[in-house]
Amino acid sequence: FTEAMYTKRWSDQQMAPQPIWNGDAWLYDPKSAGGWMTDELLPFAQVGEKLDYGRRMVESGTRDFNQVVDTIRIVIGLEGEFSNGWTWDASYTKGKNDSVDTLANLHNIGSINDAVLAEEFDPFLQTSWQGESIAPFIYTEVNSGGSEMDIVSATLSGEVLEMPAGYLGFAAGVEHRTESAYFTPDSLTAQGLANDPRVESTSGSFYVNEAFVEFAVPLLNDLPMAEQVDLSAALRYFDYNTFGDDLTWKLGLTWRLNDQVMIRAGSSTAFRAPTVDELYGGKSPSFEQVQHPASEQDQAEVTVGGNPLLTPEEADITTVGVVLEPSFIDGLSLTLDYYDIEITNAINTVDDSYVANQCLGTDGSLINTGTALCQSSNIAIDGTGRITFDNGLQNLGGQKTSGYDINIAYVFEGLGLDWRASLDTSIIDTFEETDQDGNIVDFKGFITAGAGAYADFKSNLNITARASDWSVTYEMRYIDGMTSFLGKCTANPADCYAPTVDSIMYHDLSGTYDFSETLSFSAGVNNLLDEQPPYFTGNNDSNTDPYTYDVMGRYYFVRASVRF
């Protein structure tokens, strides 16, 4: 068998004009021939002193992002069946993507500084930043990157023997996988001359050998209160060239009492190795929303990036659930699952506001200097009053989350149509994170400035009506209200403009018409009521969370699908 896929993606985005700044602007004597100090500036700095300057480059236009990404995936394999009914397969998979990202209307601050020192550019004259005066300093940043993966695998599966309750199933397999990735920033950006955060290059690879074995064991069947009871068991062995070896396991039990009730439970361990980017990603500054009494600015300069010292995440997972299909309501099913997940050595960054509040006193003094968190942060306040610290990826003490997933589905016929209604609800019971020093941070019900949003309650409702050649779907998405995790907001909400966000509900409507078995046409509108994303204090991504909320407002789409 073979499989081949090629994808080419073009995408673009737009951002506000670039802000530029510099803290080394000499102010010359206004009485000298080339003096640039104006009378308006004299109250703020004396002759010969340095003065910070900065402005938003509105005249140069918006920052325009563009990405071109090429992706290929090829699978070549063999499969077969032995005379005893056992099946086997072996395959080779190649995956590769390459991207070229451009960012237009940036400014070469290195050249601007040289021109200032050569007295060829007056930073305090507004016309210097406009038209032909600024044009020589505008450039387009070009970054390139990509990743590659090679997999060789083989599996074998079949029925080992017949037991009183059914056949004992068996599966086993081996795999060798190699992954690599790279990122090469624009030369000016890499040198820190673009007045954009300096970015380091990324390059690295690893390989892993894996083997697994699985069993499906029928325990009971056709007994009172035990129509079917099955046990599943699995072992998986890993051997990474970067981390060594480990073993994970999984046990699962399904107990179908009768046609209406099934109980299921599972317990397992999990293992996740850091990705190439998490290990070797280059470091770069990022300007994040952090409000602190000791800082004169709302944004902190946070250095982020990979960490070659990362170790794998490990997890213990427990699930218990019940499925109900009552006979007195044909087509109705109800599912309730409880989960408890505890991760050790979790790979993540600490919330930026939490770092600032843990490591800086209200007067700007360093506190908790003996903790691993504050020692690794290198936190400080620079000459402009901005907080600066390191917050790269690290192995945190751990994460613990538990909660409930509920599904209610109903399939029926009415008005000459086939109907399906489904309600999916997620309820968070706990979500805690432990830092390297053992401090427990509770995120349940909070929305953060980059570490996620943890609404107590989320729900999706989907209703579809289908005829022979067309269908209509309505979907509702609900997100419960949350509190901003920003330290100032939790300590004194009166200091925050928007310390909380209200619950929000989105409505989507779409339809599909099938012209034939191979051709269909769809159209619809998402966010029908044009709900705007909520503002909350503590995030500089347009003052909201674009990963949680719809930031596009109402939008329409059309789609044609061809199957061949």
Tokens of 524: 């619809």
229-246 pLDDT, tens digit per residue, is 999 999 999 999 988 899
Distances (CA, A) of 518 to 3, 198, 513, 524, 564: 20, 50, 11, 20, 7
CA distance 281 to 306: 4
Q: List CB contacts of 28: < 8 A, sequence separation 6 or more.
A: 34, 35, 36, 37, 47
Which residues does the chain have with pLDDT short of 50?
24-37
What long-range pairs does 45-54 form, CB within 8 A, spacing at least 24?
A: 50/23, 50/24, 50/25, 50/26, 51/25, 51/27, 52/21, 52/22, 52/23, 52/25, 52/384, 53/21, 53/22, 53/25, 53/123, 53/124, 54/19, 54/20, 54/21, 54/22
Distances (CA, A) of 506 to 374, 462, 558: 41, 12, 19
65-89 pLDDT, tens digit per residue, is 999 999 999 999 999 999 999 999 9
What is the three-class DSSP state of 312?
coil
CA distance 524 to 338: 35
| Predicted pLDDT at 433 | 86
The number of beta carbons lying within 10 Å of the beta carbon of residue 317 is 15
Q: List CB contacts of 492: < 8 A, sequence separation 6 or more.
A: none
Tell me which amino acid residue 448 is.
T
Tell me which amino acid residue 373 is.
L
Instruction: List strands edge to edge, sheet with 380-381.
Output: 284-289, 299-304, 387-390, 380-381
The number of beta carbons lying within 10 Å of the beta carbon of residue 463 is 15
| Predicted pLDDT at 22 | 60
Residue 215 near residue 233 (C-beta atoms within 8 A):
yes
The number of beta carbons lying within 10 Å of the beta carbon of residue 109 is 19
CA 390 to chain centre: 20
CA distance 269 to 314: 7
CA 497 to chain centre: 27
CA distance 156 to 85: 11
The number of beta carbons lying within 10 Å of the beta carbon of residue 391 is 25
